[in-house]
């Protein structure tokens, strides 16, 4: 599974990422910002790419017993409200003057509400806006 994750990170993931997203990532890194990838995808597939780009990662984890994967998630899957909960758990939000969030799924409104600069599919999002209709 680890080898499959490394292949995915090297061969598939780069082709899925939008150019504008990579530009924003580079912009944040050039400023010295803390950057955390928060995803419902399995960490085993994203971790190699995040390590390569010096990014923190919060994602869905798989349970294992005696060195074997059980097929179940370890804890809650990192989607919807769980994404925001995980961010609040690992980040003292009040310590940051400005928090940016970039999402592309309508299920991520909880994550957007944590940010001073919330972005949904490349457009500034307003808290009163219905993400599903954007």
Average pLDDT, rounded, for the chain: 90
- Structure token pair of residue 11: 């061969």
CA 91 and chain centroid, separation = 14
Helices assigned H by DSSP within the chain:
2-7, 13-16, 19-31, 43-52, 81-90, 109-112
Pick one of 3.30.1300.10, 3.40.50.1000, 1.10.10.10, 3.20.20.70 as the CATH number of 1-78.
Answer: 3.40.50.1000
Please give the pLDDT value at position 117: 95
**What are the domain boundaries of the chain?**
1-78, 79-134
Looking up tokens 């292949």, which residue turns up?
Answer: 7
In angstroms, rounded to a whole number, what is the distance separating the alpha carbons of residues 105 and 79? 10
- Structure token pair of residue 94: 């009040």
25-75: pLDDT as tens digits: 999 999 999 999 999 999 999 999 999 999 999 999 999 999 888 989 999
């Amino acid at each position: 599974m680890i080898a499959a994750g490394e292949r995915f990170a090297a061969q598939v993931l780069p082709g899925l990422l939008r150019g504008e997203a990579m530009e924003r990532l580079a912009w944040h890194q050039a400023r010295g910002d803390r950057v955390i990838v928060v995803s419902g995808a399995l960490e085993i597939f994203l971790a190699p790419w995040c390590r390569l780009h010096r990014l923190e990662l919060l994602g869905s984890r798989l349970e294992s017993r005696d060195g074997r994967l059980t097929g179940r998630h370890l804890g809650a899957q990192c989607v919807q409200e769980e994404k925001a909960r995980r961010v609040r758990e690992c980040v003292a939000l009040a310590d940051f003057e400005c928090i940016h969030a970039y999402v592309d799924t309508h299920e991520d409104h909880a994550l957007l509400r944590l940010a001073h600069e919330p972005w949904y599919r490349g457009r500034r999002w307003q808290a009163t806006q219905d993400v599903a209709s954007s």
